[in-house]
Amino acid sequence: MQFSRMISAVDAHACGEPGRVIIGGVPDVPGKTMFEKKVYFETHADSLRKLMLREPRGYPASNCNLILPPTHPDADAGFIIMEQVEYPPMSGTNTICVVTVLLETGMIPVRGHIMRLKLDTPAGLIEVEAEIENSKVTRVTFQNVPAFAVHLDAPIEVRGLGTVKVDVAYGGMFYVIADAEPLGIRLEPNEARDIVRVGEMIKAAAQQQLPVAHPENPAISGITIAQLSAPSFNPEIHRKNAVIVSTGKLDWNRPSSWTGALDRSPCGTGTCAKMAALRAKGALPLHQDFVHQGILGTTFRGRLIGESRVGRYPAVVPTISGRAWITGFSQYVLESDDPFPEGFTVGDIWGNTK
């Protein structure tokens, strides 16, 4: 057999959300910052993302991370994040998976029960604290980039739903956030199909009607992800959420392209965005735990530890705590005569990914 590519990866999940971590077989790429390296992959080497996330090696809810040498002198490691339709600047679940893999595989030697790391991401330098027991990472807490709300209770017109009030907030990606109850949706696994459909409809409308861009990096622009939010009846949990990740390129004029999959975790950047919106509404104080539950019942613990500004927006400094588990070690290969060198998608479970 002749292989044109051989990629070493560790598979993991953070509270249910898969986060494959590539640890070998991919050379470094040009770029003075991790954001520039992300852009290089988007524009010159996107075949890696397609190979690893599409069938037969991936599936619609897959995520993938690539460990790279850091560009920041204070960082212990760098990584970029690959999802089905984008390279997000930051992701909480993927960060938790990356930290777990770096420490549990010995890529970064473990010294003591508390490890403090700095990771170079496309969104900036991220400070991380990992708790370790018996060589297992039992909790990862990271300080995310500043989060901020752009729109609060903004009315948008959603095809098939009418007027829907939404928040738009940045937590490492731009989220549109809507309450599930007025939409007649319960955030339960057996309603996942309806959650995805409604979330993609709201995101399509918000992209058209509420343009956004990061004031310090205009290349980070547009609402790329949706979140439905609901109250919790468990006194130990503050809110429930379901985050909808697109699996196809959204075409406003073709509702059939509005396809997605649920984030299986409570979503780290989504939790940061929700906390920023709550803070902007005066509903979440600083230095108070915020327990956020995902679709599987797993939770992340968020906290706002300070205030900041991002351009003209008041911002908050959030932390997220969660856990990941390694599920496998793999060598992914591409034979030289494989007819699908960038994988494939089929319309039964995928949207328009062309």
Q: Which one-letter DSSP state was computed for residue 60?
A: T
Both tokens of 161, joined, read 């739903």
The pTM of the whole model exceeds 0.85? yes
| pLDDT value for 166 | 98
Q: Can you give the residue ranges of every domain in the chain? A: 3-143+325-335, 147-320
Residue 168 makes CB contacts below 8 A (sequence gap 6+) with 149, 150, 151, 154, 174, 175, 176, 177, 206, 210, 212, 223
Whether 3-143+325-335 and 147-320 share one fold: the answer is yes
- Residue ranges of the chain whose pLDDT lies below 50: none
The whole-angstrom separation of Cα 332 and Cα 57 is: 8
Query: What's the confidence (pLDDT) of residue 67?
Result: 98
For the domain made up of 147-320, give the CATH fold. Answer: Diaminopimelate Epimerase; Chain A, domain 1 (3.10.310)
User: What's the pLDDT at 246?
Assistant: 87
Q: What is the pLDDT of residue 336?
A: 93
Beta bridge partners of 168: 151, 176
Question: Would you please indicate which residues are annotated as catalytic (active-site) residues?
Answer: 91
CATH of the domain spanning 3-143+325-335, picked from 3.40.50.300, 3.10.310.10, 3.90.1150.10, 1.25.40.10: 3.10.310.10
Q: Half-sphere exposure of residue 2, counting CA atoms within 13 Å on the CB side?
A: 3
pLDDT value for 182: 96
